[in-house]
Amino acid sequence: MAQDPDDSPETRLARLVLALRSQGVSDAKVLQALEATPRQMFTPDLFQERAFEDSALPIACGQTISQPFIVGLMTQALKIEPRARVLEIGTGSGYQTAILSRLARLVYTVERYRTLLAEAESRFKALGLTNVITRFGDGGLGWPEQAPFDRIMVTAAAPNEPTALLAQLKPNGILVAPVGRGPVQILRRYCGDGKGGFVVEDLGEVRFVPLLDGVAREL
């Protein structure tokens, strides 16, 4: 039987994006970026049926692809301007990276698993995302050679205030990161005050995998 046109990936994605909008993702550019990014391409075969659910899903190496609502919320919180250079820590599937790449001039992304990074790179290529620059390494240290950044997004939970990353932010830059050691963390936004200090806001509770020290020994 032919597939019901209402169940095409595009329709399912559009429905998901509408739901995110009703939950408070209101920035039109962020909604457009979500709608332009086929989440099924970032979702493992085993979970294809769930690619358009608003939930985090397992990926290789015991990691996760983030929940779409949280991706929308964090991207919106970053207030990306078109000329921005953005650093992302924790490439994972590359889903969040792809969304950032549609809003920023350049996205630098760091991952500590080689296999995840290689898979993400092939997705960026398939999607024609040419403004993403990847690095295998410990993202907790940032990317000093490319600093300072206009925006920084951390997609793994920092156990403490991410001071090394804050030091790589421009004076008026913005950093968004989950901060905390437990299974539930607080999503924090740090806005540079232009004088070396930060205005810090709590944006709610989130659940991320931890930001770990060093690179992974496994693939």
Q: Which residues belong to the active site?
A: 66
Residue 200 phi/psi, 5-degree rounding, is -110, 130
- Please state, as a whole number, how many other Cβ atoms lie within 10 Å of the Cβ of residue 180: 20
Stretch that binds ligand SAH, among 18-26, 165-173, 185-193, 209-217 (CB under 6 A): 209-217
The binder of ligand SAH chosen from 68, 72, 92, 180 (CB under 6 A):
92
Among 38, 90, 178, 192, binds ligand SAH (CB under 6 A): 90
Q: Which of 27, 119, 121, 138 binds ligand SAH (CB under 6 A)?
A: 138
- Classify strands 85-89 and 149-154 as parallel, antiparallel or unpaired: parallel
Residue 93 interacting with ligand SAH (CB under 6 A):
yes
How many residues touch ligand SAH under the rule CB under 6 A: the total is 23
Max CA separation in the chain (angstroms): 64
207: left (phi over 0), alpha (psi -120 to 50) or beta: beta
86 is an interface residue for ligand SAH by CB under 6 A: no
CA dihedral sign of residues 9, 14, 17, 18: negative
Rounded to a whole number of angstroms, the minimum distance from the CB of residue 195 to ligand SAH is 29
Nearer to ligand SAH, 143 or 198 (CB): 143
Stretch that binds ligand SAH, among 46-54, 79-87, 191-199, 207-215 (CB under 6 A): 207-215
Q: What is the DSSP letter of 24?
A: T
Pick one of 32, 40, 64, 115: the residue that binds ligand SAH (CB under 6 A). 64
The Cα 95–Cα 129 span in angstroms is: 12
Alpha carbon dihedral 102, 90, 197, 148, in 10-degree steps, equals: -60
Burial class (CB in 10 A: 0-12, 13-18, 19+), 6: exposed
Strands 106-111 and 57-58, sheet pairing: unpaired
Is 202 or 213 the residue whose CB approaches ligand SAH more closely?
A: 213
> Per-residue contact track with ligand SAH, 139 to 168, x per CB under 6 A?
xx--------------xx------------
Cβ neighbours of 26 (radius 10 Å):
12
Q: Does 110 bind ligand SAH (CB under 6 A)?
A: yes
Whole-number minimum distance, CB 50 to ligand SAH, in Å?
A: 14
Binding site for ligand SAH (CB under 6 A): 63-66, 89-90, 92-93, 95-96, 110-113, 116, 138-140, 155-156, 209, 211-212
